[in-house]
Amino acid sequence: MDHPDPTTAARAFLAEDPDPETRAELREILEDAERGDAGARREIADRFTGPLEFGTAGLRGRVEAGLARMNRLVVMKATRGLGTHLLETGARGGPDPRGRGVVLGFDGRHSSRQFAEDAAAVLAGLGIPVLLFPDPVPTPLVAFAVPRLEATAGVVITASHNPPEDNGYKVYLATGAQIAPPVDAAIAGHIAAAPPLDAIDRKTPAEAAPVGLRRLVDAADHTVEEGYLDALARAALHDPESTPLRIAYTALHGVGHRLVVRALARSGFVGVASVPSQSDPDGAFPTVRLPNPEEPGAMARVLTLAAETGAELVLANDPDADRLAAAVPAPGGGYRMLSGNEIGVLLADDAIEHADSGGRRKLVVTTVVSSGLLSRIARDRNVACRETLTGFKWIARAALEGEAAGQAFVLGYEEALGYTVGPVVRDKDGIGAALRLAELARFLKGRGQTLLGRMDELLVAHGLLHPVQWSVSLPGLEGRSRIRAAMEALRSRPLERIGQSPVVRTLDAAAGEETVDGQTREIDLPRSDLVTFEAADGARLTARPSGTEPRIKFYLELVGEADTPAEVGPARARLEEEGQSLRGALMGELGLA
């Protein structure tokens, strides 16, 4: 699709923008550009060459003026597009949004409440009732609320674990699962066709509430928060035990603290130690450089608290509480972080072993960039397993399809600290995952075992696989160009070996095909900018651009051998060294070193 000249688009944006702060910011950049400032011209091109698009988790970007940014105008146009799509779908016999409404929630970022109010005003202007959470809430609670309240859709304003300067716009349909193709494209078409802002009817709270177009969802309402906690409790895999387990927790200045503490207390965990300076929502995230538990240093305060309290399990949510990070005591002292793959495999193993499926075949879902260990476990234990593209919109779709075919979905996960513990929430659920992991750690402790010990047992039983993951941040237009160039290089000059093992399979999700031993065939995956190389020994490397940040991500998994749990640690250390060597060589070849 052709896009207007960036400067022309910037002036049109300026004429519509309702926010005085972003108007002033953009006006200054335009004036600098008109005076010949090359940096200002690049900035305009970066912000106005095409709109912000739905990625792996909706719209997400830096909060500032621009079509490719998050701001009040983009939020209102996006909501107009969503509302128009819902009305059009209802007119064709789908759920009627005017009768069932849209759930709307937001996190603790500085701009989130304003964006939520803007979205509510536009929906009410279309005659669509809004079920609005009045205070910041976890993303999984919004996803749970959509089917619970029988709404036709849901929106949550959040940028999850992104930097403080970012925000986002995530959409759920009536199932509580995120939108996926072709719905996202249909909504994008309506967004592009949205009229100028002064032609979009918006109702104030005072106008909307008396006519039933605005209702506040009380966070303590039994139908939502209590219903969510009840559902998690009913889905427990282990009965509460008397075995004590010391836990340290941090919400990383997000919205997870209250519900995590309540969920753990209901399951019999007492004396949970929380980092007080990080327990309340704060969009500035003052104690961390980045509010992502995967980032170096982000877990420093909770690990210090864990050492002070003798914690046996360390838990952390990201700011919207849809992800979970965890650490456990290391054999040599201190704490060892569990990777997303390890948490996912441990939770899946527990569900495979202990979930009540009512006689149906159990189903687990993972992604093409996550460890292949879960697929091996599922194969060895006669459990159904589906691999999807990265993103929980695909995991939820696979779970719903499996359930429709008579399977019992028990767990889905992706390596980036995202897990859904059964059908309670059709999206990442860092609160439910925290509860399940704590219950598993307590169950194992009562039997003289640990999470690390159980992980080693699984690697011995099903095969030693060791992931090595990394990403390269490349912001701006130049960064996008370098990401495209790297992906093109991988396609035009595909890897011939991974370590010493020859590549026998190449998958290109953008082309929708794979090549195995020289023979090319179509694959049953949605189109996506992703390439995978698989070696004869089972090692594989996948590369893809991030769907939420200006990064290119690499996922390498190497294969080793360990006949006993004692051999796992040394074998993984050797594979880690090999992986880092392969990483350095690949980054040099792609010009990303």
Place of tokens 């690949």: 586
3-state helix, strand, coil in the chain (%, to 5): 40, 20, 35
Q: Report how far residue 493's alpha carbon sits from residue 408's, in angstroms, rounded to the nearest whole number.
A: 42
Axis-axis angle for helices 430-445, 451-462 (nearest 10) = 90
d(CA 484, CA 510): 12
User: What amino acid is encoded at 81 in this protein?
Assistant: G
Q: Is 516 helix (H, G, I), strand (E, B) or coil?
A: strand
Nearest to 542 by CA among 413, 368, 340: 368
Catalytic residue among 111, 112, 160, 279: 160
Other CB atoms within 10 A of residue 241 CB = 14
Token output for 352: 């495979």
Q: How far apart are CA 314 and CA 292, in angstroms?
A: 15
Q: Calculate ∠ Cα 198-202-206, nearest 5°.
A: 140
**Max CA-CA distance within the chain?**
73
Q: Give the C-alpha separation, 481 to 579, whole Å.
A: 27
C-alpha 441/C-alpha 445 separation (Å) is: 6
> Is 278 in contact with 252 (CB distance < 8 Å)?
yes
- 208/59 Cα distance (integer angstroms): 26
- Has 473 been annotated as catalytic? no
Q: Report how far apart, in Å, the C-alpha atoms of 168 and of each of 46, 72, 125 are.
A: 18, 11, 22
Can you tell me whether residue 390 is helix, strand or coil? coil
Residues 6+ apart with CB under 8 A from 263: 229, 232, 233, 431, 432, 434, 435
Task: Give strand pairing partners of 515.
Answer: 506, 520
Could you give the residue numbers annotated as active site?
Answer: 160
